[in-house]
Structure 1
Amino acid sequence: MKIKRRALLLGATALPLSGHYPAVAQAVKRNGLRSEETGETRIKSGRNATVTGMMLDAIERRRFEQVPAAIIYESKRALVNWFGCVLGAAQSDPVNRAAQTVGSGTVPIYGTTQNAQAKDAAFLTCLSSAVYAFDDTHVPTITHPTGPIASVLLALAHSEHKLSGQQFLSALIAGIEFSCKLANALTRYAPEPNFGLYLTGVTGPIGAAAAGAIALGLDRASTGWAIGLAATQAAGLRATHGAMSGMVVPAFSASAGLQAVLLAQAGFTSTAEVISGERGLIAAYAPGADWDAAFSGLGEDFEIRRVSYKPYPCGVVIHPLLNVLKSAALSDLTNTNVQGVEVRVSKRTKTLTDNAAPTDMFAAIVSAQHWVALAILGHPLGVNGLQQEQIDDPEVSKMRKKIKLVSDDALEVTDCVITLQMNEHAPVTLHGNKVDQAEMTLNDVALKEKYMNQGRGTMDQFQLEKLLALLLNIEQSKDIGRDISAIFRPVS
């Protein structure tokens, strides 16, 4: 794309799952205090600030209204990726099931004929964006920022809250930055990150509520209330992965964020500091985190630069394996000539993805064996790989059983060693490391192709092209809700 992202993502791809946190060590050395009672090193803030205060200051200083052109452009890419994901899963079984639980309203559910109330619409559109695990990823923290924020902003835009394209972009960028900075605080700046947290559920409501408050033009006090009310709903567990429950976490975030901002608009108050207070969110989820350092570049060092758009609809720690196999360009591999496959990965990758017998798409999304089998056999690595017929395919199932994941403490999540034992030839060994995985996003051409491929199931080519043009020139819109509604028509 227009933005040179390799150098940025290269540094970011040392994912927090690796367990190495130089920033924390430096912060402890600089600001650490030894507790006489416990002997633990605790990190203190260098200023008399709070996370909420930093966020409110950035909003008041209008830091998200005049941002570099590259950041504006990247926010449009995030929106294109999000819309593609929404349209691609709008008529999927999980979304259809969830749609049965909501009432009618006036806000459109993209890709369907259904309208719903604003909060339900935010829930359903965010669910659509997450169902196939194709949504964007903040690489350093593995949070998925755009879904809850875009869903809330568009629900507001369609429900008598007129938003210009410029207002929408400013709020979207701010929400993404707040979510990702908070995710940094909970992982990269935390002495002992809790990897049981599904960060989108923790950071999503806060980013969405703050973005909604900006879009509605709430004053400083009301915006603070919205942030506090969202923080008390922040929750997400990785134990939900492998079932529909794993895809609903971002949707809950959208619903919670919108509820928080509407309550605040109605004058529902919150205590002053629910995030970084003594008994606040960070103290509960990441004790000792240096949140001051995590938020210090807010509005200047933009985290959206480190957001990637997935080339494969599966857990991001599986991507390095697929990249290595794809780069090797192996051909004519079958169950006849492949005797076995050893995949050496990080302990975290094995823990999250070791499942040689997924029974449905939710388990397949986080099954390394399933995706490696598809790659070895030369099958497409898109959403079709999640179809039940692919999961049940006898050849795919047979290959999955030959693939053994081996944990290697010397490897990070960006590393892998794949050895294919061949029946009549010498073994083939493939290596992948951080440098090989630096490009963890899609360029413009690939992103458009992803968007188009997902959208064709619910919209025709003309509609898709028209929507894409609107998104890429969104700052020209005077009423984004009206302009998007004009493109969509009932889908039978």
Structure 2
Amino acid sequence: MPGPTASEALGRFVAGSDWRDIPPALRHEAKRSLLNHIGCALGTARDPAVRTAVRVMRGLGGAPRVTVFGQSTRLDAMGAAFVNAVASNLLDYDDTHLNTVIHPAAPVAPPLFALAEQGGLSGAAILHAFLLGGEIACRIGNAVSPGHYARGWHITSTCGAFGAAAGCAKLLGLSAGQTAHAIGIASSQAAGTVENLPSAAKNVSVGNAARHGIMAAFFAAEGWEAAPAAIEGPLGWARATGDVPDVAAITEGLGERWEIGRNTYKPYPAGIVFHSVIDACLALRDRLRAPPEAIAAVSVAGDALLLARGDRVVRNERDARVSIHHSAALGLVRGHAGVADFEMPAVADPALAAFRAKVAAVLDPSLPRGAARVTVRLADGRVEEALVTTPRGSEARPMSDAELEAKFRDNAAMGGFADRAEAQIAAIWALEEAPDLSCLMGLLA
């Protein structure tokens, strides 16, 4: 007899998982992920895009029962999940699973917070559901990478819908069969395109991944079913959006090898593959001690993903956050790369614009994903080079708890919550012992 399908294997794994079996290190990583996620969402609380999302979702939703991070208003569960997903992903400052380039928390955590707050569930329940949902998103991402992204599918939005559905199914206490159907139903909702990344349409697909997870889980709870092989079948989601899927990457080692444990966090508010560019340019700036006008040309070499994402004309702040040229200019001209360095005043800065024109992107397929080699040619003929394969924040050089706390404080201050930051941080670290989310949500409203 044939073995279980991908959805069936994942359904059994999610429904059968016991919090008591989750290793302490992985539990702590869940808290780190949520600390980073909530901080990023608070940092955009005043952003017009977030305010617009609140306004639109208020007009579409039901009873306002769920907290929207950093806002004075409440929304229904699906509306709050949508807005919180958008907010946390807006600045490209959120977490990243490098192998897939999925940002797991943005689509997965918000629907879980919404359901847990609405249902009075414990902090441990949301941590557990987040680990399971993030794991499913990353495993399905592994199975379709790199062809899925290369075809133009925004993998955070597409695979995030599966993770959101699985996490919500866990919080709702669905059976293995119901959870499998929730994941299968999500296959009909998983969408989002790379072409839209420099636009607000990206925000819609990330927000939809979060709210679609709730919808898929609730439909499964009411008895709706999906095809058993909705993911990997001949006309299933994976083949429709990419190459033949690696089903083993989804199903093998469930509960033993955790992909979500490889989650990483950004020290710079830019696409993860640009962090090596920034680090290399900062190192060269420190080594050369040369003014920008003394630099004649800059060459940035990286893999195909780096060039596909970052060899672009910079017209706005969204372009800047995924630009090889802007990242190099920040490292070599300004010597820092904070949130303000990717906003419109920096995009329009004549000094940065002039320097971006000196930067050329070069394909080097021998370099691993996330690496960059930067070569600087000075006006006097000297040439200097820096190679970075493990940037700050990578799996090999992770941000410490103290660094994540400092990042949270900076984001909270941007959103107008500097006076609550310490209490918010403490409440997130204490989630595992919290009987419900009332304390944390009170601090985030």
Question: Scaled by the length of structure 2, what TM-score is found?
Answer: 0.92
Q: Deviations over 1:295-350 (max 9, x none)?
A: 21111111122110011111222111112223342464433212221222223322
1:234 aligns with 2:193: no
1:471 aligns with 2:428: yes
Match of 2:24 in 1: 69
1:59–1:438 CA distance, 2 compared to 1 (3 A): closer
Match of 2:103 in 1: 144
Match of 1:306 in 2: 262
1:95 aligns with 2:59: no
From 295, 304, 316, give the equivalent of 1:360: 316
SS of residue matched to 2:300: strand
Q: Deviations over 1:259-315 (max 9, x none)?
A: 212223334333333223332222323443221343211111111221100111112
Deviation at 1:240, TM superposition (A): 1.3
1:435–1:457 CA distance, 2 compared to 1 (3 A): closer
| Cα distance in 1, alignment partners of residues 367 and 53 from structure 2 | 40
From 267, 276, 282, give the equivalent of 1:320: 276
Match of 1:53 in 2: 8
From 416, 427, 439, give the equivalent of 2:372: 416
Match of 2:35 in 1: 80
From 159, 175, 180, give the equivalent of 2:133: 175
1:223 aligns with 2:223: no
| Cα distance in 2, alignment partners of residues 261 and 488 from structure 1 | 26
| Cα distance in 2, alignment partners of residues 435 and 235 from structure 1 | 30
1:390–1:379 CA distance, 2 compared to 1 (3 A): farther
Match of 1:30 in 2: none
Match of 1:397 in 2: 353
Match of 2:145 in 1: 187
1:102–1:247 CA distance, 2 compared to 1 (3 A): closer
1:346 aligns with 2:303: yes
Question: Scaled by the length of structure 1, what TM-score is found?
Answer: 0.84
1:82–1:488 CA distance, 2 compared to 1 (3 A): closer
1:121–1:438 CA distance, 2 compared to 1 (3 A): closer
| Cα distance in 1, alignment partners of residues 120 and 196 from structure 2 | 36
Deviation at 1:99, TM superposition (A): 2.2
Letter in 2 for 1:346: D
Moved more, 459-468 or 309-318: 459-468
Structure (1 or 2) with the greater helix fraction: 2
Match of 1:26 in 2: none
1:353–1:193 CA distance, 2 compared to 1 (3 A): closer
| Cα distance in 1, alignment partners of residues 47 and 187 from structure 2 | 30
SS of residue matched to 2:293: coil
Letter in 2 for 1:177: E
Say how many residue pairs are matched: 439
Letter in 1 for 2:272: V
Match of 2:122 in 1: 164
Residue pair 1:320, 1:414 contacting (<8 A) in 2 also: yes
Match of 2:411 in 1: 454
Any stretches of 5+ residues in structure 1 without a counterpart? Answer: 1-45
From 94, 106, 110, give the equivalent of 1:135: 94
| Cα distance in 1, alignment partners of residues 42 and 172 from structure 2 | 26
Q: Deviations over 1:397-449 (max 9, x none)?
A: 11111111122344343343322222246222223346997635312121111
Q: What fraction of aligned residue pairs are identical, expressed as a percent?
A: 27
Match of 2:208 in 1: 252
1:125 aligns with 2:80: no
Residue pair 1:242, 1:365 contacting (<8 A) in 2 also: no
SS of residue matched to 2:190: coil
Match of 2:228 in 1: 272
Residue pair 1:140, 1:306 contacting (<8 A) in 2 also: no
| Cα distance in 1, alignment partners of residues 186 and 397 from structure 2 | 30
| Cα distance in 1, alignment partners of residues 300 and 179 from structure 2 | 48
| Cα distance in 1, alignment partners of residues 192 and 142 from structure 2 | 16
Deviation at 1:47, TM superposition (A): 5.9
SS of residue matched to 2:414: coil
Deviation at 1:64, TM superposition (A): 4.8
Residue pair 1:333, 1:377 contacting (<8 A) in 2 also: no
Residue pair 2:108, 2:134 contacting (<8 A) in 1 also: yes
